[in-house]
Structure 1
Amino acid sequence: MSQQLIDYYKAIENSSLQMLNAARSEDWEQVVRFEGACAVLIEQLRARASTEELLPEQRKEKTRIMQRILNNDAQIRYLAEPWLSHCEQAFEGKSQYLH
């Protein structure tokens, strides 16, 4: 049963890696798609974690997985900065029409 819990962490890591690969390709629609998949997996993980625990060796693996996820996230944010700046500039003059 605990093995299933660690599988959620692995799936989230995989999705974050797919997000990073999409960001490297500047495929922001795919980034958003994988971000949504991560959100669903995180909610499922939260539900499962309320009733299950990881074994000690799985907790160590979880720590390594979480470090890789955080590294992927940092790289995605770095790659997204120019795109976000471009979006902000594109909407700068149009903000008066949004109110």
Structure 2
Amino acid sequence: MRGRLGINAVPVASVPEGPRIRITVYDEGNGVPSGEEMKIFERFYRVDRSRSRESGGAGLGLSIAKLFTEEAGGTIGVEPNPSGEGSQFWFTLYQA
């Protein structure tokens, strides 16, 4: 399988709480099925259970990322990649 993976960081317009930065990680893989975008941040949730077992995944990675991001006062989410393939995972944090 061929595809691309990228990371992007851009400042977000200032909000009353202070300036933020948005980090986006994108790929052109299988993507997240429609309707499962919020479920993937739940503990032990796996989109493709058979594939996750092969790779040893437990369904904890994104729930841990969500916990750390929110503890730091940020937000996290996922959306379809504008290229039409894969997904964009993003998080915002206060800019130092």
Query: Which TM-score applies when normalising by structure 1?
Result: 0.28
User: Which of the pair has the greater relative contact order for Cα pairs under 8 Å at 6+ separation?
Assistant: 1
Query: Which TM-score applies when normalising by structure 2?
Result: 0.29
Which structure shows the bigger proportion of residues in helix conformation? 1
- Which of these two proteins has the greater Rg computed from alpha carbons? 1
Which structure shows the bigger proportion of residues in strand conformation? 2
